[in-house]
Chain A
Amino acid sequence: MSLLEGRALSKRFARRGVQVEALKDVSFTLGDGEILGVVGESGSGKSTLLRLVSSLEKPDKGEVLLEGKPLPPKRTKAQYRAIQMIFQDAAGSFQPRRRISASIRDGVKSLWGRDAEPDMAELCALVGLSPDLAERYPRELSGGQCQRFAIARAVAASPRVLLCDEITSALDVSTQAQVLHLVADICREKHMAALLVSHDLAVVSCLCSRVMVLYRGELVEEGPVRRVIDAPEQEYTKRLLDSVLEVR
């Protein structure tokens, strides 16, 4: 039995009166401790998929199962804790007028109950930041620092699955490398699985064992990362690979 499963997930949005099928009949499975990559261009349905899994949006059709049990439309706190999401705009995912530590505390209380307190020292150590930085406001931190705190906030829920939506796209190369290492280390140490959405196949190749390729809302190719990169079956995957600029 897989840890997380998506079955025939579909979602439509109305955009200026026109119905857009953001996701068409997409199914996937995620094993315990596995990192599954999701690649595709803007508009391919990557983020919609994560939003359905995280329950930020309700699917029109299909269902999400955690450890074989379908997740209800209204999830329990334990189910919310089990699946945590990290966004591209880390600073924007924190309340701008509250200190980072207060935002993390709010998150912990809402998920664990009013009496719960996060261990800030431990969380900061986990993401390699000084606890002093947690007393700052999001605007006083760099993008990389904000992203580390966003990871800390997600980990504070002791999730089974991390949903990562383009978490390194707004960072420069050296910060990107640091955050990629951090995600790899945390997933290994805490035995967490992850769905990693990125438009950058190189990022996916260094973290994931399997990858799904989405195109206009449909799953066009899926397989082990190495196979998909070395011998892509779909024209669209080849096009994505051709657009990766390599430095050497």
Chain B
Amino acid sequence: MSSGGFLRISGLCAGYGGEIAVADISFNLARGEILCVVGESGCGKSTLLKAILGMDSALRIPAGTVTLEGTELTALAKKERRKLAARRIGMVFQDPGSAFNPIRSYRRQFIETLRSRGLYDPSAFEGQAAQALEKLGLEDCKRILGSCPYEMSGGMNQRIALALALLLGQDLLLADEPTSALDATVQLQVAKELLRLREESGITQIIVTHNLALAGFLGDRIAVLYGGRLVELGPAKAVAAEPRHPYTRSLMGAIPTLDGKLPAPLPGQPPLGGPAKAGCEFAPRCPRASEKCRSAQYALRDGGSGHFSACCQEGGAL
């Protein structure tokens, strides 16, 4: 599906215990591409990232493959997979404090992390660190490295976590709501740094967010997840301007804008039990649902120009 062979996800299913949280996920990413994954709480966004990262031993992947530049990660032994993920895949979490130990200096934590991957070169460290921090618009490298995470604001911590990913030479960045805990001005700043990481260092990114406006700003493409399945996938501009799935349209309508009108909430609650066996997951909340929707088999259909939708009505078109 779509161009690019840097990261290939095919038919991926994942979940905890006996439950499946995400199913039938397929997409490809080209090197340097930014994909934003949007959806409500509980739709499987974070599980999808964890399945790609492969560090969570409690997460089961009963079907599907994750292939990074020709290496099938899902076929590797656990130890091998973790080793490769540690080297190439960076992860940034919503809680800016969670990436670091709050009371150890950044310098010590940077060095420990580099050493654990066999990348620590004492003579070059300060220069490399300064360069990585500079790329994120952070000057005064000495002061930053000497401070502890508890002394820094959320936005700073998030940017320093990105600098560490850069320092480790990771080329795939997974970010789980990286800006949700930050206020609006800092949010925009971090979003711009993510774009710069792509421009200057070619880092491929998958950004999970519930903020469609942010996804439209950052993403080359947007993937919309509902009830554990992809319901829409397409170029960011097209998804934002002409959403094809009714769920995406409802989600857009729920965003407050500066026009002073109250946004329209979606009726009901999202499903919590993971993907349904038959029928469209969104049917119970969909304004256009018909009998057909309750029995339709899940399939993502191309509506042209790489804009896919899983709506079974009129191929998902308006």
A232 to chain B, nearest CB (A): 11
Q: Which chain A residues lie closer than 8 Å to B264 at the CB level? A: 177
Residues in A whose Cβ lies below 8 Å from that of B41: 142-143, 171-172, 175
A242 surroundings in chain B (CB, below 8 A): 188
Contact with B along A187-231 (1 / 0, CB 8 A): 000000000000111110111000000000000000001100100
Please name all residues of chain A whose beta carbon is closer than 8 Å to the beta carbon of B251 when the two chains form the complex.
Answer: 173-174
- Which of B180, B216, B252, B263 gathers most chain A CB within 10 Å? B263
Contact present for A206 and B185 (CB under 8 Å): no
- Judge if A234 is at the interface, Cβ distance under 8 Å: no
Cβ distance B185 to chain A, nearest Cβ, rounded Å: 4
Tell whether, in the assembled complex, residue B256 and residue A243 are in contact, meaning their CB atoms are under 8 Å apart: no
Q: Is the CB of B40 within 8 A of A200?
A: no
| Contact yes or no, B184 A199, CB < 8 A | yes
* In the bound complex, CA of A76 to CA of B39 (Å): 46
> Smallest CB-CB separation from A236: which chain B residue?
B185
Residues of B within 8 A of A240 (CB): 184-185
The stretch of B1-9, B205-213, B300-308 that contacts the partner chain = B205-213
B266 adjacent to A174 (CB under 8 Å):
yes
**Residues in chain A near residue B42, CB distance under 8 A:** 142
Is there contact, CB below 8 Å, between A173 and B254?
yes
Instruction: List the B side residues contacting A178 at CB < 8 Å.
Output: 265-266
B254-265: CB near A (< 8 Å → 1, else 0) gives 111111111111
Known: A177-B254, A246-B213. A42 touches B261 (CB 8 A): no
Q: Which of B183, B214, B263 contacts A180 (CB 8 A)?
A: B263
Chain B, residues 210-234, CB within 8 Å of chain A (1/0): the string is: 1111101100000000000000000
B266-291 interface (Cβ within 8 A of A): 266, 270
Distance between B153 CB and nearest chain A CB, rounded to angstroms: 7
- How long is the Cα–Cα vector from A201 to B183 in the complex, in angstroms? 11
What's the minimum C-beta distance from A176 to chain B, rounded to whole angstroms? 7
Interface residues on B, range: 35 or more
Interface check A245, CB cutoff 8 A: yes
A184: chain B residues at CB < 8 Å are 262
Report A-chain residues with C-beta under 8 Å of the C-beta of B188.
242-243, 245
Q: Give the complex CA separation of A243 and B263 in angstroms.
A: 19
A41 is an interface residue with CB less than 8 A from chain B: yes
Assess whether B186 is interfacial by the CB under 8 Å rule. Answer: yes
B254 surroundings in chain A (CB, below 8 A): 173-174, 176-177
Q: Does chain B have a CB within 8 A of A248?
A: yes
> Across the interface, do A177 and B265 meet the contact criterion of CB distance under 8 Å?
yes
A244 within 8 A of B: yes
With an 8 A cutoff between CB atoms, is B187 at the interface?
yes
Alpha-carbon separation in the docked complex, A201 to B256 (Å): 9
Q: Of the candidates A173, A199, A207, A239, which one forms a contact with B210 in the assembled complex, judged by CB atoms under 8 Å apart?
A: A173
CB–CB B210/A202 < 8 A: no
Chain B residues with Cβ under 8 A from A229's Cβ?
258, 260
Which 3 residue pairs are nearest across A and B when measured between Cβ atoms?
A199-B183, A177-B265, A172-B210
Report which B residues bind A (CB closer than 8 A): 40-42, 153-154, 180, 183-188, 191, 210-214, 216-217, 240-241, 250-252, 254-266, 270
29 A–B pairs (Cβ distance < 8 Å), ordered by A: A42-B154, A142-B41, A170-B180, A172-B40, A172-B41, A173-B40, A173-B210, A173-B251, A173-B254, A173-B255, A174-B40, A174-B265, A177-B256, A177-B262, A177-B266, A201-B184, A202-B257, A203-B256, A205-B257, A205-B258, A205-B260, A206-B263, A207-B262, A240-B185, A243-B184, A244-B184, A247-B212, A247-B240, A247-B252
**Measuring CB to CB, which residues of chain A are less than 8 angstroms from any residue of chain B?**
41-42, 142-143, 170-178, 180-181, 184, 199-203, 205-207, 225-226, 229, 239-248
